[in-house]
Structure 1
């Protein structure tokens, strides 16, 4: 019994907690063809904040499907450290799966909207618009 309990304690202390994320922006991968029938897209994800040149792991995004647009919001793990330099972070490839065909909707980066972490940065110079039919 005590061995199982100790193992549980050890496992419970490892890994990244779900709440320890940082905002990330995304773009369509070069050469990516988007059509009304698209349900799978190749995108490039990069951490918005300073992290000494490390983007981290792109987590499964939030995808909000509306009548005229699909808003895709990425985060990365682990969270940003307390102190990091701002040399830029690399883009990491990610296969984005949409819950239904894109249709005649725009694709928008959710981190560029409202109080998103990228709003007001060069990542959002286009207002977060990543594709428009």
Structure 2
């Protein structure tokens, strides 16, 4: 039932955009994905990658929301709990890998320069990206 509801929210892109409530839709989807990770993560990722140029903002909102959760800025989590950036790192690396493999150099550059923090795994991907001769002049242009 929850998956059906999530799919309805995903498929309401045109309706929400036409009525000026797309930002609310984006926040709802992103929070659902962050709270119910395994149930919605792959669906959301596939949805973003289906039209990544148009849905890049969803990817960044998702990454930023995971950063917020990892830092404990929301009251949902125990403030005394140790910070855990595992999910943030997974999402950041998955996005970077996808942009790298699919040759979305502009999106790769945009994400690496605007991510809240760069993890060690993300640095490894960045290093591989920079070692690729084709990408020498692309990253920060």
- How does the TM-score come out when normalised to structure 1? 0.29
Q: Which has the higher contact order (CA 8 A, sep 6+)?
A: 1
Task: Name the one with the larger helix percent.
Answer: 2
* TM-score, structure 2 normalization: 0.28
Rg larger for: 1
Q: Which protein has the bigger strand share?
A: 1
